[in-house]
Structure 1
């Protein structure tokens, strides 16, 4: 009965699109279809991931018991595998915007991360990583990703399979904390961006400081271009301009931070609204949110040389954007972008030449923080979406296919 009701609700969303008809292609229009969710209990913080073989993973936090349970499932046709436990704990830092995630190398190796409290103060927590060599049946004992030993903020992780292991980036508050002080007002230094390479067992091989001063709590985004890893994040200047920047690993060395486009958004606090990126070869696409002069916008920008230079940005929102973007490369000249327009979760295909397809309304949620960040991933010849149903306090899943 639950799945029938979800289907009726999604059908209503499609009817409500008005002129926003499904994108027409040679194989017919794209159609939205509800799928059962493996996270059918009290759950939130969904994360979708697709590996190099096209296998789709959904992870989430199960909140139905007295501890946080980090779960995942793999899509098999239109059904999900039985959920498996990655880790659980009672002392985790669980946040609507800074959620656990996992990655796979496509050969049975998996890595996952979550946040664990390191002190009684609210913003003191560590990034813990755990690995599996058998497709997620057994997981290693979690270890701390960073080695600074500070009781400070560490989070907003992004990671991707790279060479024979994984590249991981995160925001690191080792220089920004006053240990024993409560809240962000305890900062007396700078939030930094750091990166590391770990092998398949989670052993850290290298670590770098990538930017010495960044925005405090926006997600980072990592993509692997033909030239190597790139990290996109919200930067922070001395006069509080918080635009998107990029760093790139080129010939074994990291480039200096560079603004991808000067929005010149000056804001005294963190908007908690990070970028999303994707790469196919050396075509790199980045979506982000800004609100310069209170003019909220979602934009997309392309690079044809792995992030060394960029084309002009393309605005994709319709005037009521609140951000929370995601991005999937469709080919080497277009990307699908999802975002929230008020309470609506929308998606549109955008081409490097500036053309856009029709906008699809995937679902409606709420603008509250507890609705989280909707997720999108490539699945076969279509797309898969996951989001938190803020009213039912559970995770919904839908596919957009031909």
Structure 2
């Protein structure tokens, strides 16, 4: 087993964390062409990874595409949607999500033309495993000239037992002052809805009536219900990570994962990631509470109880933009961007189990700032896929690498 230093678990404090030297990676340019950006990773019902991205479609339009990784490699890209007037932003990223063998969902963002950050969610479904797609719908009735985005999608059991599309999003309708409609306190809300495969909308609910304006959300479906992680916002500008769960009785806010008390008067554009595997649900996030830049993680059992004491996975110069995926047993893999200075950043990956974080692997280097976007990870057996946006001569491209046997190497 490769030599490495591990963290001693002492009240949630990091004692030591060191990288295994020479950790192998398997390079792969991936299926996305030059010009692609905004990657997302998901998986089919039988565990095959799906990579989606956005690329130019002529001079003034875009298209959302995906490719599935099979035994013979990445399949030919499939176009889900194309059009002009899209809202394309490094932080608010479209998705293609397999929900069952046949039902898939995809979303992208369309500008309203009534302001820079006035845009809507376009949601499409496929009932033949991603081969053909419906015309898009807007999954809510609101038409205010405000932000609607940062979507998370999951498979929601419908009344007949068949899967429907569950989604949560950040909704800015209360940012438009309208006392007659009760909009007298400008704020962003976290909302959820269910959409049937035929596009019928139902069950729109408010999960939290005051949240951070532009931090991405994350969701995972478990036998104990759906968990959604997000960055909350109090009237006193405390912006800690919270989780809500949808069970048989509807949505229940579980409160803060850790009461850190990060006071910041503007949105840090740094959302959490949540994932589940076995009987565990885990959360990863970035914080600067107490004036310290940290990436942290906590977990809880599905059968009840609270969140574990958070562990510091990265300190020093992390930039956040975390990813999280279940790998095997009680092992999760966590990714983040690390600021290297001089306009460069590294995509770091580490495994975390009940004993804490293991060895750190550098999956890639890229540029710092907004152009780096948000790296993505997904478990595939004991391996981990990592997708990120690289830049060459001012042209972006989504690239992929595979970290083999990361669960075993993480235990070194």
- TM-score norm. by structure 1 comes to 0.88
Counting matched residue pairs gives 370
Residue 369 (structure 1) shift: 0.2
User: 1:85 corresponds to which residue?
Assistant: 79
Query: Which residue does 2:347 correspond to in 1?
Result: 345
Aligned equivalents of 1:353 and 1:20: distance in 2?
17
1:39-78 correspondence to structure 2 within 5 Å? 39-63=32-56, 65-66=58-59, 67-77=61-71
What corresponds to 1:173 in structure 2? 172
Cα drift, residue 257 of structure 1:
5.1
2:397 to 375, 389, 394: 394
Structure 2 CA distance for aligned equivalents of residues 306 and 35 of structure 1: 39
Contact 2:45 2:101 in 1 (8 A): no
Q: Give the superposition deviation at 1:229.
A: 0.7
What secondary structure is seen at the aligned counterpart in 2 of 1:370?
Answer: helix
State how 1:1-400 maps to structure 2 within 5 Å: 20-21=19-20, 31-63=24-56, 65-66=58-59, 67-77=61-71, 79-163=73-157, 164-177=163-176, 189-256=186-253, 258-305=255-302, 309-342=306-339, 343-354=345-356, 356-391=357-392, 392-400=395-403
Tell me, yes or no, if the aligned pair for 1:277 and 1:284 is still in contact at 8 Å.
Answer: yes
SS of 2:129's equivalent? Answer: coil
Separation in 2, partners of 1:359, 1:251: 39
Shift of residue 64 of structure 1? 5.4
- 174 and 387 in structure 1: CA distance in 2 versus 1, 3 angstrom threshold: same
Q: Which runs of 5+ in 2 are unaligned?
A: 1-17, 158-162, 179-183, 340-344, 406-412
2:181 alignment partner in structure 1: none
Indicate the RMSD between aligned Cα atoms, in angstroms. Answer: 1.9
Please give the secondary structure, in 2, of the residue aligned with 1:261.
Answer: coil
Taking structure 2 as the reference length, the TM-score comes to 0.86
Q: Deviations over 1:145-172 (max 9, x none)?
A: 1111212110000111232122210000
Change (3 A) 1:297 1:310: same
Q: Contact 1:284/1:307 (CA < 8 Å) preserved in 2?
A: no
Following superposition, the deviation at residue 277 of structure 1 comes to: 0.6
User: C-alpha displacement at 1:81, in angstroms?
Assistant: 1.0
Cα distance change of structure 1 residues 251 and 382 upon mapping to structure 2, 3 Å threshold: same
Query: 1:44-99 CA deviation, whole Å, 9 max, x = no partner?
Result: 10111113310211110112522111111111225211111111111111110001
Q: 1:10 — aligned with what?
A: none
Structure 1 residue 178: deviation in Å?
5.6
Change (3 A) 1:250 1:106: closer
| Cα pair 2:232 2:239 within 8 Å, conserved | yes
Distance in 2, matches of 1:105 and 1:305, equals 21
